[in-house]
């Protein structure tokens, strides 16, 4: 059996090498590739992903998994070997339902879609993006049909980003969350508004860049195994434990954008850098759960990065970096500014209290698209209607509305709910962290993050894809995904800021 296990790992290693090559091509596409290269790049990525898919859905791999299942049954069910066989079987079963041509088709649509989205957003021209988006939605519907019968047509797409989670599960969690989140927002809005004008000034771009990198290196982001570049929509890419890259977006007249984007992406990157090296180049060596991924990015960005103890350490340094802009603003003014609650147009710039409503809006639109109850041509109107209903704001144009996110251009339908679920998990982990590290605030106040990162490495990062989100959250916190801790965190924090 050891020989068969070694053969399995060899096949997986070659396939994951190919997938990492495809991801590197995608990173280049979003950072440095000339805009004219989109069509060719689609062929490149499609070919590489098709080759990986063929290896991961081959009869040889399937036979190996079947032969190894009795061996896995004799092992500790939590051992790397037992989990590797189990997770590989699940991935193999999923991939054998999908023909390689469909994988290549999606890669081509993603490349063309990204270019169309980039241009359409810059020109505020949804009709320019619409034909590609219609093809993407159609492709995603056809993809879902390979998994029929299903409980809901959206389930196979959600599985791509959150294995083990069903559409009904997400709806149930959000149904419990929405009224309480709305109630909190209403309480905040009944109080005098915070002044955040200190953030809206000219801030030198290079200094923003340098300060953000100093912060995330202090967190523990290893720049020997990473780098940062610019992108229209910030993202993180991993090509193995030794190469995990982040991107950010700098606004010259708004300090918070690049700073918190860099913190956010570093949370993703530190997760990838913390996976057990024994899992490298296998099915376990990549994080399947984007809920867990988002819990890490949102934890570092918000629960750490927007906390008072954090800025008690870093604000004097930020003032020294921007004395003209911040020299006359005290810590409390800045702290309140970065935590201002105000329904806004842009998800990535939204505050913690309103953020989840942006996600619920997108989830509902995606489900309607997949059910066939919403046509792509009607997306802008549906988007604006829900923005007014949920947040009380109406985008003045599509660039600030339906075109703001990159996800649909990449075919990432099924992704959005994991952002809000990640917020909830971050709240659960934070409560557990504060129990296990009772002096956590004081550590952060001193600019010390090694114990925090070490706890996350032990409890979350090292496991890679060994456990689905619900299982790992229950192991660490004692319960499955639960909105209550996150709501407690928000209420306590904003009651202190707004005094309701």
Main-chain dihedrals φ then ψ at residue 251, nearest 5 degrees: -110, 120
State how far the Cα of 271 lies from the Cα of 297, in Å rounded to an integer: 9
State how far the Cα of 116 lies from the Cα of 325, in Å rounded to an integer: 38
In sequence order, the β-bridge partners of residue 335 are: none
Helix (H, G, I), strand (E, B) or coil at 248: strand
State how far the Cα of 103 lies from the Cα of 19, in Å rounded to an integer: 12
Burial class (CB in 10 A: 0-12, 13-18, 19+), 280: middle
Plot region of 281 (φ>0 → left; ψ -120 to 50 → alpha; else → beta):
left
Spatial strand order in the sheet of 244-248: 228-230, 244-248, 236-238
> Please, where are the H alpha helices in 281-351?
290-298, 308-321, 323-326, 331-338
Tokens of 413: 């339908």
State how far the Cα of 433 lies from the Cα of 452, in Å rounded to an integer: 8
Cα atoms in the Cβ-side hemisphere of radius 13 Å centred on 477? 27
| Cβ–Cβ under 8 Å, residues 475 and 467 | yes
Task: List all residues 6 or more positions away from 332 whose beta carbon is below 8 Å from its beta carbon.
Answer: none
State how far the Cα of 478 lies from the Cα of 68, in Å rounded to an integer: 32
Main-chain dihedrals φ then ψ at residue 229, nearest 5 degrees: -135, 175
Tell how strand 236-238 and strand 244-248 pair up. Answer: antiparallel
Burial class (CB in 10 A: 0-12, 13-18, 19+), 253: exposed
Long-range contacts from 471-476, C-beta under 8 angstroms, 24+ separation:
471/164, 472/289, 472/292, 473/292, 473/425, 473/428, 476/428, 476/429, 476/432
Cβ of 87: how many Cβ atoms within 10 Å? 20
State how far the Cα of 102 lies from the Cα of 94, in Å rounded to an integer: 13
Catalytic residue positions, numbered: 265
State how far the Cα of 248 lies from the Cα of 228, in Å rounded to an integer: 7
């Amino acid at each position: 059996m050891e020989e068969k296990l070694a053969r399995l790992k060899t096949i997986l290693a070659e396939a994951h090498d190919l997938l990492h090559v495809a991801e590197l091509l995608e990173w280049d596409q979003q950072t440095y590739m000339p805009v004219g290269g989109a069509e060719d790049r689609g062929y490149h990525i499609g070919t590489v992903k098709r080759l990986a898919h063929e290896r991961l859905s081959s009869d040889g791999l399937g036979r190996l998994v079947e032969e190894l299942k009795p061996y896995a049954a004799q092992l500790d069910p939590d051992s790397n070997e037992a989990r590797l066989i189990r997770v590989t079987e699940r991935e193999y079963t999923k991939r054998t339902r999908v023909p390689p041509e469909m994988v290549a088709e999606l890669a081509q649509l993603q490349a063309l879609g990204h270019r169309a989205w980039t241009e359409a957003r810059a020109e505020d021209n949804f009709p320019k993006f619409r034909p590609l988006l219609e093809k993407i939605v159609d492709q995603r519907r056809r993809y879902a049909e390979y998994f029929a019968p299903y409980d809901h047509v959206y389930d196979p797409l959600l599985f791509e980003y959150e294995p083990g989670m069903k559409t009904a599960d997400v709806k149930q969690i959000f149904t419990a969350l929405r009224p309480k989140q709305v109630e909190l927002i209403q309480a905040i809005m009944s109080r005098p508004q915070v002044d955040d004008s200190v953030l809206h000034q000219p801030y030198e771009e290079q200094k923003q860049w340098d300060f953000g990198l100093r912060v995330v290196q202090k967190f523990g982001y290893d720049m020997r195994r990473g780098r940062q570049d610019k992108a229209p929509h910030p993202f993180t890419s991993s090509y193995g434990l030794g190469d995990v890259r982040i991107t950010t977006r700098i606004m010259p007249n708004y300090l918070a954008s690049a700073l918190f984007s860099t913190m956010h992406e570093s949370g993703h990157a530190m997760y990838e850098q913390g996976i057990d090296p024994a899992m490298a180049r296998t099915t376990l060596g990549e994080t399947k759960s984007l809920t867990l991924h988002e819990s890490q990015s949102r934890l570092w960005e918000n629960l750490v990065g927007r906390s008072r103890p954090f800025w008690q350490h870093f604000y004097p340094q930020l003032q020294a970096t921007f004395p003209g802009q911040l020299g006359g603003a005290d810590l409390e003014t800045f702290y309140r500014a970065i935590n201002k609650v105000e329904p806004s147009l842009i998800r990535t710039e939204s505050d913690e209290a309103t953020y989840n409503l942006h996600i619920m809006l997108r989830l509902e639109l995606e489900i309607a698209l997949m059910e066939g109850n919403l046509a792509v041509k009607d997306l802008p109107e549906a988007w604006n209607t829900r923005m007014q209903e949920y947040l009380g704001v109406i985008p003045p144009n599509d660039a600030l509305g339906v075109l703001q996110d990159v996800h649909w251009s990449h075919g990432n339908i099924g992704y959005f709910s994991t952002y809000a679920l990640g917020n909830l998990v971050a709240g659960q982990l934070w409560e557990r962290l504060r129990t296990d590290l009772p002096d956590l605030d004081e550590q952060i106040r001193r600019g010390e993050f090694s114990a925090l990162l070490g706890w996350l490495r032990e409890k979350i990062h090292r496991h890679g894809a060994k456990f689905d989100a619900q299982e790992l959250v229950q192991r660490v916190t004692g319960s499955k995904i639960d909105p209550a801790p996150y709501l407690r965190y928000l209420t306590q924090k904003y009651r202190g800021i707004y005094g309701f």
